[in-house]
Amino acid sequence: MNEQLISRVRTLAKTEKYKQDSFFFCGSPSDMPNEALLSACEAWLAAAERGQRDPAVSERLISELERIAPARPTGILLENANAEGAGNAFVIWNLLDHRAEL
């Protein structure tokens, strides 16, 4: 599997886990955690770590990404966006652009 895709899904999972932990420990997160997205990311990463492609898991992740996708960013090539620094919008759209590889 493409290491970039794995890294980007891992970035989304870390962001959602941070939101979840902030909500649990502080009660006042900057954003509400998305349990469905976190679960879909974790399931996909587990399959990827086993070296397997599970169509049902991939479809679940794609559905969550499509559900939360913000307006498509313009003016920046998504391939060149740094997954760690460009924000989740770029990560989400980059993953959706490569949905066939998920």
pLDDT tens, 70-99?
A: 777 665 555 555 544 456 788 888 899 899
The mean per-residue pLDDT over the stretch 41-47 comes to 96
Cα gap 79→89, rounded to integer Å: 13
Q: What is the pLDDT of residue 26?
A: 72
Model pTM?
0.78
Q: In the chain, what percentage of residues exceed pLDDT 90?
A: 45
Triad 10, 34, 77: Cα angle to 5°: 50
Residue ranges in the chain assigned as alpha helix (H): 3-26, 35-49, 55-68, 88-97
